[in-house]
């Protein structure tokens, strides 16, 4: 895939505590902006193959394609058998890295490809890339807010969280 956007933030809890929240795929509506409902759509509740449907401004399916116990997972974004508009293909990775017993680094990464060749790349440069960068940052900030307070994040909460500077730490997922 062609485009990679990543963002991270320090969270005031242990990696193990953060993982207990992240591994519960039914909680996404508490920290993903513009999502107000999460429904698990498979018998499997976690691990590769588990799926959920998130609903809000846009409804979409998310299926786990990679699961790293205690660290994070990658989901494929889709609507049934088709990719989520406007993407040709898109995945989203959540990652947790321990810093010490009281802190961890939360990282969100979206890898996506647009259709339309040159025009898609131009559209990404002019508009879509900026939107995706903002959304990826909002998700990681909202995760931090939800994880630390155990309260669903509101629009006003997110406005405050946006004042947190982005961490300038290594960001590979491996």
pTM above 0.75, yes or no: yes
Nearest 5°: the CA angle 46, 71, 45 is 5
Q: Give domain status of residue 42, yes or no.
A: yes
pLDDT at 168: 52
Range of the domain at 77: 3-161
- Chunked in runs of 10, what are the mean pLDDT values of the chain (174 residues)? 89 97 97 95 97 94 98 97 93 97 96 90 89 95 96 93 69 40
Q: Give domain status of residue 109, yes or no.
A: yes
pLDDT at 169: 44
Percent of the chain whose pLDDT exceeds 90: 83
CA-based radius of gyration for the chain: 15
Distances (CA, A) of 51 to 61, 123, 152, 155: 7, 30, 21, 26
Taking the chain, what is the end-to-end CA distance rounded to the nearest angstrom? 17
pLDDT at 165: 75
**Alpha-helical runs (H) found in 23-97:** none
Nearest 5°: the CA angle 170, 166, 146 is 105
CATH number of residue 80's parent domain: 3.30.530.20
Among 29, 87, 90, which residue's Cα sits nearest to residue 57? Answer: 29
Q: Give domain status of residue 75, yes or no.
A: yes
Structural domains in the chain (count): 1
Q: Give domain status of residue 170, yes or no.
A: no
Distances (CA, A) of 54 to 83, 109, 116, 156, 170: 15, 18, 27, 21, 30
Q: Give domain status of residue 65, yes or no.
A: yes
């Amino acid at each position: 895939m062609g485009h990679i956007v990543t963002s991270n933030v320090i969270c005031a809890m242990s990696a193990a505590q953060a993982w207990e929240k992240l591994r519960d795929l039914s909680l996404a509506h508490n920290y993903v902006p513009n999502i107000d409902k999460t429904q698990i759509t498979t018998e499997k509740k976690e691990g590769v193959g588990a799926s959920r449907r998130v609903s809000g401004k846009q409804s979409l399916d998310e299926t786990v394609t990679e699961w790293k116990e205690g660290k994070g997972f990658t989901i494929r974004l889709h609507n049934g058998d088709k990719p989520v508009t406007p993407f040709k293909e898109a995945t989203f990775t959540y990652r947790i890295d321990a810093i010490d017993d009281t802190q961890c680094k939360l990282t969100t990464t979206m890898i996506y490809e647009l259709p339309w060749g040159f025009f898609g790349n131009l559209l990404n440069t002019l508009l879509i890339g900026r939107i995706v960068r903002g959304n990826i940052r909002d998700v990681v900030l909202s995760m931090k807010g939800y994880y630390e307070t155990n309260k669903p994040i509101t629009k006003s909460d997110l406005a405050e969280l946006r004042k947190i500077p982005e961490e300038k730490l290594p960001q590979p997922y491996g």
